[in-house]
Structure 1
């Protein structure tokens, strides 16, 4: 375990000459908003290290400088949360990066393949997962925990090398580059309270409700950040949704909401909710985003188009050996079924080339889905197909 700034600096200096290094973290966030960094694992071709960020007096500056070194490729598996922690602690977004989970999806290993599964498949090693959910904040860590933690980066070297070979063979590395650009973008890790409403699942029917949803979600996010507690410790998601739809403007009406605990309406939290509701009602409707319609509000024609496009996506992905979720999710499919000009990932970059353009062709009768020799096939037409309207 590296517990001093001096030994950390020596390790990072030794890793500077590596072509790539593998990195992982262990953290706890069950009782906090910001994750508590408990352990950093790092490995090069010959050097490996376990860094204790909880050690008294240790300065992680040498590690963050290495993460910021453009000459060294940083390899992670499922990198987003690891990078989020580093951005919060240092403001540094590691670059360049390579995410083996995303690379595995691009190479046809399935949807969000886990680390143990990809290690078993590519490194031919079985990892003991019993230490995975242990308390990483306790000291001292056991030998079993340390062995498990180190295996997260030592086997990752083999996984990276084999995936890199596969990417070179298939010519899909440019696809991965687009995804890595997203991971290396600081905007990916910004937790702006004004955007918090987007994660709340609720049917909004008016701009007034939307304004309240935006304001109450932002208030809850700011409270959680300031107090460093999970959002649900302030109020739960379903409570935010109920407040947005019911728009309570007094303690009495607030106390009638089923999703809020008893007594909360007369507390400091209740006062904060009512203030946020008032702010939401005062918002200019023109400044709010357009209302998003749920699936039930899609036209019959758009719903039918969405079902056909989902089938087509499955056909294309089976042929290419890709997980459909990597290309488009259900929301993307429904968006393009309703609007040719929907600004979604499916209509940009490699996704557009692979399926976005084909989706529009199917929608407008310039391609057809059919069966041949018992297999589903998609055929582009030289001329638009005739449209037959059903009564």
Structure 2
């Protein structure tokens, strides 16, 4: 079942439980998640947003059986997230790949992360959030008003869906700007090595190796 909403700058399609079997999103797909909290070992995965960078966001609502859903039974979404010929583009992929592993039981790869890219080339600032990067690199203002709302509710509001969609609609353009900077500064190969490590970093976090960090002194 899909529900289509129209926001001022995007088309938002809400899919209950899974993506349509015949949906094609191209070789690079922007992905984000909404959860009940920020601990992937504890907090439930509620929504997975995807975009081909074409102004349309596909939002897959993941509901547990207790709320009439199917939990992690979403084979079409899982297939896309694990396809080796499709790059999954995130902002702060470390969290998203961990929650997707915990919630769906999949290792998401290959991945790119705009936060890591920004930290590698924008060393003159500590402002690496998606809101700041979209404003400074794309001239786009994102609203974070719904960031802390209840994503576990059985019915999500249009305002929640518009917020969720905004987190994937600009990632293709943002990556294009950051990739140019990585090439200019000679750090693209280093970034790609970081991206390849992200699934392992997420697995380490789920095992509790984030506190203390296994790489800390």
Which range, TM-score by smaller chain?
0.7 to 0.9
Distance apart, 1:33 and its partner CA: 4.3
CA distance in 1, matches of 2:40, 2:86: 32
Q: Which runs of 5+ in 1 are unaligned?
A: 201-328, 333-391
More relative contact order, 1 or 2 (CA 8 Å, 6+ apart)? 2
What is the aligned counterpart of 1:56 among 64, 69, 74? 69
Residue pair 1:101, 1:112 contacting (<8 A) in 2 also = no
Correspondence 1:87 to 2:101 = yes
CA distance in 2, matches of 1:112, 1:147: 24
Correspondence 1:8 to 2:26 = no
CA distance in 2, matches of 1:75, 1:83: 11
Q: How has the CA–CA distance of structure 1 residues 10 and 122 changed in structure 2, closer, same or farther, with 3 Å as cutoff?
A: same
Q: How has the CA–CA distance of structure 1 residues 31 and 69 changed in structure 2, closer, same or farther, with 3 Å as cutoff?
A: closer
Q: Which runs of 5+ in 2 are unaligned?
A: 1-13
Residue pair 1:24, 1:41 contacting (<8 A) in 2 also = yes
Asked which structure has the greater CA Rg, the reply is: 1
Q: Secondary structure at the residue paired with 1:165?
A: helix
Residue pair 2:98, 2:206 contacting (<8 A) in 1 also = no
Q: Secondary structure at the residue paired with 2:46?
A: strand
Distance apart, 1:189 and its partner CA: 3.2
| 1:56-78 CA distance string (max 9 Å, x none) | 24732211111111111111001
Give the TM-score, by structure 1 length: 0.46
Q: Who is 1:288 aligned against?
A: none
Correspondence 1:44 to 2:59 = no
Q: How has the CA–CA distance of structure 1 residues 154 and 118 changed in structure 2, closer, same or farther, with 3 Å as cutoff?
A: same
Residue pair 1:102, 1:112 contacting (<8 A) in 2 also = no
| 1:18-47 CA distance string (max 9 Å, x none) | 121100000013799422011111000335
Q: Which has the higher helix share?
A: 1
Q: How has the CA–CA distance of structure 1 residues 123 and 134 changed in structure 2, closer, same or farther, with 3 Å as cutoff?
A: same
Q: Which has the higher strand share?
A: 2
Q: Who is 2:192 aligned against?
A: 177
Residue pair 1:75, 1:97 contacting (<8 A) in 2 also = yes
CA distance in 1, matches of 2:38, 2:100: 18
Correspondence 1:78 to 2:87 = no
Q: Who is 1:24 aligned against?
A: 32
CA distance in 2, matches of 1:30, 1:72: 26
Residue pair 2:36, 2:152 contacting (<8 A) in 1 also = yes
Q: How many residues align?
A: 196
Task: Please report the RMSD computed on the Cα atoms of aligned residues, expressed in angstroms.
Answer: 2.7
Give the TM-score, by structure 2 length: 0.79
